[in-house]
């Protein structure tokens, strides 16, 4: 059952590599932008504290 | 003077960001369940057509983001409101990544179905050009130091690119009639059965949610960057 | 009359710096020289491919010369002076397009029969190619000049300017490689001329501020 899922009648390599590529790039994209958002927010907060 | 965005709306949306992200994740998982486990294989293409569920939404949204970008640029020309440039600038890298995903998954799908990684068909060529248009747009912002000038130039570039896409598609179609007939008929999409439409629609919805999440994050980043710039002045 | 004077001025500038005048044509020949090194020296194989090669080399030669349409005037401040005169800016831009085309594409067109001799292309085919180039190259020059006007202010324009321009050249190359499309090329050139005029005027006003 599981090996069927991975094999997919010979198409497994293609299907899984496509899904893998998409998901990995989505995760990286989300992580990159979210972390830089948090960083920027921190930076802005520090700046405001300094100015006060 | 740079922007007068309804800051309250953006701040409110920022507060909802974790929930939006979680919803995106859940819809994605549901879509993955349907597309991998709970949908029948195509009787012609077998299981390889499961790639469609991640490829087609990416291609749709790549084109959709460029339309949004170009529309923002046109609106900027009409209303001269800097917000429109902010929208265009925020969506550009996301659209570029979606185009890249559409290209890569399309190639992977092409290998088992057409027997080749790439075909010089109108749709594929215009997708490739679309990627370079995104790159050019992003590079404009990076290579011009004066941001007000960069805003004006990149808006013009966005509109030029939008005119360019149909021109490319038309001329590659023309080229195919001139140089090499057939082989393209394989690429035409057959009508989709309802059992395949469900996962496709769910995946499209998940992609749209993901795009919205990333767009919101990018917009917020841009706004904060401008605030920091102003505070440092 | 003013239009004429502007063209003469630019042509004189191009002519007195003699390297500029020959650059595009010699670049075209040099690209064509590379081809036998890649595909072997049996020239008779090339008659089919020659049309394609020549259009690719023309596109590259035009790309190479685009820096000179507005850049030198922009850098030494002449552009501001020209814009401040009574002459309408559209006329100035159009004169620049035409003089740039004359200075760079006429040498290319003169060189094409020569290249045809090098690659054993018949006179009939050479003439056909020349007609297509005559119809298509103005459009390519117009578009290229417009985009380089748009990217005047960027330090690294040379790199990403080509990314924008080459997709816009695709239609010209497609129709240029076809024998019977010189009328389509002419139409494309006219449309490109109108759009390029708008874009150049917009960007020159931007930079002259």
Dist. CA B132–CA C160, nearest whole Å: 10
What's the pLDDT score for residue C22?
A: 82
- Most C CBs within 10 A among B175, B176, B180, hence the mutation to make, goes to B175
Total domains present in chain A: 1
Cβ contact C–A (≥3 pairs, < 8 Å): no
CA atoms within 13 A on the CB side of A5: 8
Residue B8 inside a domain? The answer is no
Residue B78 inside a domain? The answer is yes
Instruction: For residue A40, list chain B residues with Cβ-Cβ distance below 8 A.
Output: 220-221, 224-225, 228
Residue A29 in contact with partner chain B when CB distance is under 8 A: yes
Closest CA of chain B from C1, distance in Å: 32
Instruction: For residue B154, list chain C residues with Cβ-Cβ distance below 8 A.
Output: none
Instruction: For residue A11, list chain B residues with Cβ-Cβ distance below 8 A.
Output: 46-48, 50, 112
What's the pLDDT score for residue B184?
A: 42
Residue B19 inside a domain? The answer is no
Closest CA of chain B from A52, distance in Å: 12
Alpha-carbon distances, residue C7 vs A47, C10, C141 (angstroms): 56, 5, 15
8 Å CB contact of C175 and B133: no
Given a cut of 70, the residues of chain C with pLDDT beneath it are: 18-19, 209
8 Å CB contact of A22 and B105: yes
Dist. CA C207–CA C110, nearest whole Å: 36
Interface of B with C in 172-201 (CB under 8 A): 172, 174-175, 178
What's the pLDDT score for residue A34?
A: 93
Residue B80 in contact with partner chain C when CB distance is under 8 A: no
Instruction: For residue B133, list chain C residues with Cβ-Cβ distance below 8 A.
Output: 164, 167
8 Å CB contact of B140 and C160: yes
What's the pLDDT score for residue B192?
A: 64
Nearest to B101 by CA among A33, C170, A32, A27: A27
Nearest to C193 by CA among C107, C116, C101: C101
Alpha-carbon torsion (B51, B52, B56, B59), positive or negative? positive
Instruction: For residue C168, list chain B residues with Cβ-Cβ distance below 8 A.
Output: 160, 164, 167
Residues C5, C92: contact at Cβ < 8 Å?
A: no
ipTM attached to this prediction: 0.88
Residue B183 inside a domain? The answer is no
Residues C67, C184: contact at Cβ < 8 Å?
A: no
Nearest to C135 by CA among C170, C185, C193: C185
8 Å CB contact of B214 and A33: yes
- The pair of structure tokens assigned to C151 is 């990217």
CA atoms within 13 A on the CB side of C195: 21
Instruction: Among A22, A33, A51, select the one facing B101 at the smallest CB separation.
Output: A22
What's the pLDDT score for residue B2?
A: 46
8 Å CB contact of B51 and A30: no
Domain that holds residue A33: 2-51
pLDDT band at A31 (very low <50, low <70, confident <90, very high): very high
Instruction: For residue C147, list chain B residues with Cβ-Cβ distance below 8 A.
Output: 160
Instruction: Kindly report the pTM of this predicted structure.
Output: 0.87
The dihedrals phi and psi of C167, each to the nearest 5 degrees, come to: -60, -35
Instruction: Among B143, B160, B178, select the one facing C154 at the smallest CB separation.
Output: B143
Closest CA of chain B from A49, distance in Å: 12
Name residues whose C-beta falls within 8 Å of residue C32's C-beta, 6 or more positions apart in sequence: C53, C54, C57, C115, C118, C119
- Does an H or E element contain C186, and which? helix C182-208
Closest CA of chain A from B101, distance in Å: 6
8 Å CB contact of B139 and C163: yes
Residue B172 inside a domain? The answer is yes
Alpha helices in chain B (DSSP H): 7-15, 17-32, 52-79, 82-114, 122-143, 147-179, 194-232
Q: Which residue has the tokens 């009639």?
A: B177
- The pair of structure tokens assigned to A11 is 């198409």
Name residues whose C-beta falls within 8 Å of residue B41's C-beta, 6 or more positions apart in sequence: A9, B47, B49, B50
pLDDT band at A27 (very low <50, low <70, confident <90, very high): very high
8 Å CB contact of B143 and C174: no
8 Å CB contact of B50 and A15: yes
Per-residue pLDDT of chain B (233 residues; tens, 9 = 90+): 445 566 777 777 888 889 999 999 999 999 988 888 877 776 667 777 888 889 999 999 999 999 999 999 999 989 888 888 889 999 999 999 999 999 999 999 888 888 888 888 778 888 898 999 999 899 888 888 888 888 888 999 899 888 888 887 777 777 766 655 444 444 455 556 677 788 889 999 999 999 999 999 999 998 888 888 888 77
Rg (CA), chain C: 17
Name residues whose C-beta falls within 8 Å of residue B5's C-beta, 6 or more positions apart in sequence: B83, B86, B223
Nearest to C192 by CA among C106, C97, C74, C100: C97
Q: Is A8 left (phi over 0), alpha (psi -120 to 50) or beta?
A: left
Domain that holds residue B108: 25-35+50-177+194-227
């Amino acid at each position: 059952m599981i090996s069927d899922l991975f094999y997919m009648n010979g198409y497994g390599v293609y299907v899984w590599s496509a899904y893998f590529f998409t998901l990995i790039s989505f995760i990286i994209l989300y992580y990159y932008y979210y972390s830089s958002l948090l960083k920027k927010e921190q930076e802005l907060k520090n700046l405001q504290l300094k100015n006060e | 003077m740079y922007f007068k965005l309804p800051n309250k709306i953006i701040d409110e949306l920022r507060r909802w960001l974790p929930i939006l992200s979680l919803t995106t994740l859940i819809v994605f998982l549901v879509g993955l369940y349907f597309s991998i486990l709970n949908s029948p294989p195509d009787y012609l293409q077998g299981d390889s057509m499961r790639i469609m569920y991640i490829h087609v939404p990416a291609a749709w949204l790549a084109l959709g983001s460029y339309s949004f970008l170009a529309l923002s640029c046109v609106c900027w020309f009409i209303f001269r409101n800097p917000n429109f440039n902010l929208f265009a600038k925020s969506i550009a890298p996301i659209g570029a990544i979606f185009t890249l995903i559409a290209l890569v998954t399309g190639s992977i799908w092409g290998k088992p179905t057409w027997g080749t990684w790439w075909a010089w068909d109108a749709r594929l060529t215009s997708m490739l050009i679309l990627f370079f248009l995104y790159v050019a747009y992003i590079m404009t912002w990076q290579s011009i130091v004066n941001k007000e000038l960069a805003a004006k130039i990149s808006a013009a570039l966005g509109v030029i690119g939008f005119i360019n896409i149909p021109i490319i598609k038309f001329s590659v179609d023309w080229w195919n009639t001139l140089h090499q007939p057939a082989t393209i008929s394989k690429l035409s999409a057959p009508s989709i059965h309802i059992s395949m439409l469900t996962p496709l629609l769910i995946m499209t919805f998940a992609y749209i949610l993901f795009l919205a999440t990333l767009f919101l994050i990018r917009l917020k980043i841009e706004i904060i960057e401008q605030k920091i710039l102003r505070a440092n002045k | 009359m003013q239009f004429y004077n502007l063209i003469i001025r630019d042509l004189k500038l191009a002519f007195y710096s003699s390297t500029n005048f020959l650059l595009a044509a010699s670049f075209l020949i040099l690209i064509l020289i590379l081809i036998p090194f890649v595909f072997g020296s049996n020239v008779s194989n090339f008659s089919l491919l020659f049309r394609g090669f020549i259009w690719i080399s023309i596109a590259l030669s035009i790309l190479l010369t685009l820096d000179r349409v507005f850049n030198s005037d922009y850098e030494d401040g002449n552009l501001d002076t020209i814009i401040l005169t009574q002459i309408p800016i559209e006329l100035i831009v159009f004169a620049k397009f035409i003089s740039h085309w004359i200075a760079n594409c006429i040498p290319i067109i003169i060189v094409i029969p020569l290249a045809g001799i090098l690659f054993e292309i018949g006179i009939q085919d050479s003439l056909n190619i020349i007609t297509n180039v005559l119809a298509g190259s103005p459009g390519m020059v117009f578009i290229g000049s417009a985009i380089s006007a748009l990217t005047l202010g960027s330090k690294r324009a040379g790199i990403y300017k080509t990314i924008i321009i080459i997709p816009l050249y695709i239609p010209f190359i497609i129709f240029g490689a076809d024998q019977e499309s010189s009328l389509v090329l002419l139409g494309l050139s006219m449309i490109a001329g109108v759009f390029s005029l708008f874009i150049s005027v917009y960007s020159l006003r931007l930079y002259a501020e």
